[in-house]
Amino acid sequence: MVFWAFPKQISTLKRENLTENWQMGMRNWFLGKVPHNSDSIQSQSRSSAGMGGIPHMVYQFKNFINQRRSAMFKRFVIVVGVILMVTLPCNANAASYQKKIQKYVESHIRGWLAAPELIDAVAQQNINHMGLTGGDIKNLDQRWRTEKRLGGGDLMNSKMSNQLSAFLRGIKAASGGVIVEIFVMDNLGLNVGQTDPTGDYMQGDEAKWKKTYPVSANAVFIDEVEEDGGKNVSQTSLTVARSNGARLGAITVVIDVDKL
């Protein structure tokens, strides 16, 4: 069907030679045997019954494909290199912050987690909140959000002005700027006391509570560093527990990592 495009004077013999030559060229291409020097290509071209340029075309096509592959590979290497240049320093910085935060937790936070002001307040709220339903919690959370929008209210004031919150503000002040914020949650994830008003009253659906209180008495969750109010901070959360390992709730300490 292809040969109707050639001049009528091409003989049947030439067409047969052409077909054989084309098949040989394609077979050599797949086997990687296409000659790579011009003399061999010219020799094949002269001996192919008038249409011997086809093997050379096949070689050129294969060479073109190889060049494209080479160019694509070079671009791939460049892209991977750029990604590594960006991500490796970030990962190194994250690992550095993690170590510094963990060290700060053990040296400056663990000690006061067992303070009576903290333990007693969480334990008492757990008792007070026994029997709360999901609907009750949803209503309390909505009430908190409304009060915050209005600038305060009975629920928010009861948490911001209690003895635990006063204790936490003292811890924050003594940190020299390392601690930006602290808030404590009960066994349902509800606020018990805090240094600053939180956006929600219910924290139990967030990682700060899910990855601490339900996990173990010694669980620590160090969240990613993010910018907040011009500071690079990490929300570092721990389980609040009695000395015998009985879990009561959780605490989140927002740390300015640049101050470590």
Backbone dihedral region for residue 74 (phi beyond 0: left; psi -120 to 50: alpha; all else: beta)? alpha
Residue 142 has pLDDT above 70, yes or no: yes
pLDDT tens readout for residues 69-104: 666 666 665 665 555 454 444 455 667 889 999 999
Distances (CA, A) of 56 to 10, 36, 52, 79: 21, 10, 8, 34
Secondary structure class of 53 (helix, strand, coil): helix
Percent of the chain with pLDDT over 70: 64
Provide the CA 172 distance to its chain's centre, in angstroms.
30
Q: How many CB atoms lie within 10 A of CB 152?
A: 12
Percent of the chain with pLDDT over 90: 62
Asked if 244 and 237 count as a contact pair (C-beta separation under 8 A), the reply is: no
The DSSP 8-state label assigned to residue 251 in this structure reads: E
Pairwise CA distance, residues 36 & 53, whole Å: 14
Residue 59 has pLDDT above 80, yes or no: no
CB-neighbour burial class of residue 126 (10 A; exposed 0-12, middle 13-18, buried 19+) = middle
Beta strands in 92-230 (DSSP E): 179-185, 191-194, 220-222, 226-228
CB-neighbour burial class of residue 81 (10 A; exposed 0-12, middle 13-18, buried 19+) = exposed
Q: How many CB atoms lie within 10 A of CB 144?
A: 22
pLDDT tens readout for residues 202-247: 999 999 999 999 999 999 999 999 998 899 999 999 999 999 999 9
Taken in order of first residue, the domains within the chain and their CATH numbers are 1-112 (no CATH), 114-259 (3.30.450.20)
The pTM of this model reads: 0.66
